[in-house]
Amino acid sequence: MDRISVRLLAATPGAALLVAAAARVSLSRKPIEDLLSMGEEEVARWAWELVRRSHGSPLEHASYTFLAEGCSRVCTHQLVRHRLASYTQQSMRYTDGYIRLAALRASEALGLDCPASRKARGALDCYARALAGAAEAAAAGEEWAVEAAREAFVFPQAIRGEALASYASGLLGAASSYYRLQAAGVPMEEARYLLPQSARSRIVFTMNARELLESFIPLRTCARAQAEMRLVAWRVLWILREVEPAIFRYAGPRCVLLENRVRGDPRPLEDYLEGRAGFTIERCPELVPRQGIRACLSHAASSAGTRVLGGSTTGAARVQAGPEGG
């Protein structure tokens, strides 16, 4: 899965200190000014205690807003199942989003000179013809046509080899029909029913630290999560590890969260990935036995673009500008 990026747009200022102070409000009569004067080590200790004890309400005072671009409607449909969040997604009722990029790329390759603006005379019909030609080229295995399809649609990891040409051709054919209907006068909001779920989209989402720690990251970074959703979740995790280590230092898939809650010395995710820490739990929440958890964890991380190199774990999303790997 390429061309998918995740970046942090905004975060609660001083989130870790705010969370730690809120936690102490429930236990202390000290003035809030005293509670807000804690040092970094004390803040980190209080933040971890909240996670370890599942005392989640103070974590809800910190929130983070992300932009995920280039992901499919399949992925965003899974994302919005996390109810304790806010979402704003690119409309497919009023914009053709990434689909027009594929049409213009096909137009250039075929020498059709389609207008860049969909409002120009003859543009929709030209897009339809360009995409129909690209569909035929993709079916014949021409690489440029497959790349044109990638502009508008996500290619799952399992689509490879001989299936690649057929997959790309089918997507381009659907996009051609989409524009042909519009050229015939069908409104965009009705024509979009033809588009596959793999159509690229972009979405802004805001979650609080509790939802991220307790639900989104544990569930969606797990090896059992769908691959594209897992890629987005791992990128979110690495970003949060960079910007808010006091809160997210011990975050990870469900196996890591459970292990850290039961052991006396919680360990960061990379220690489990690199073998510096072993699992003591009998099995993970997905019932993988102890001896298989690390391999399962490594598979989940590597399939989402995280690499373990020479004792150093690096995340694809950690270097934000959104690298296109997966």
User: H helices of 184-250, where?
Assistant: 188-191, 209-211, 217-220, 227-243, 245-248
Count other Cβ atoms within 10 Å, centred on residue 323.
Answer: 16
Please say whether the beta carbons of 105 and 147 come within 8 A.
yes
Q: How far apart are CA 59 and CA 50, in angstroms?
A: 8
Phi then psi dihedrals of residue 171, to 5 deg: -65, -45
Q: What residues pair up with 71 in beta bridges, in sequence order?
A: 201
Q: Which two tokens stand for residue 72?
A: 């499919």
Q: How far apart are CA 36 and CA 24, in angstroms?
A: 10
Q: Which of 220, 235, 249, 294 is catalytic?
A: 220
Q: Which two tokens stand for residue 89?
A: 């997604």
Q: Which helix (H) or strand (E) holds 262?
A: helix 254-262
Count other Cβ atoms within 10 Å, centred on residue 144.
Answer: 14
Q: Which two tokens stand for residue 271?
A: 């220690």
**Nearest residue to 100 (alpha-carbon basis) of 164, 166, 195:** 195
Please say whether the beta carbons of 140 and 113 come within 8 A.
no
Please name the residues in contact with 293: beta carbons below 8 A apart, sequence gap of 6 or more.
255, 279, 281, 283, 284
93 is catalytic: no
Catalytic residues: 220
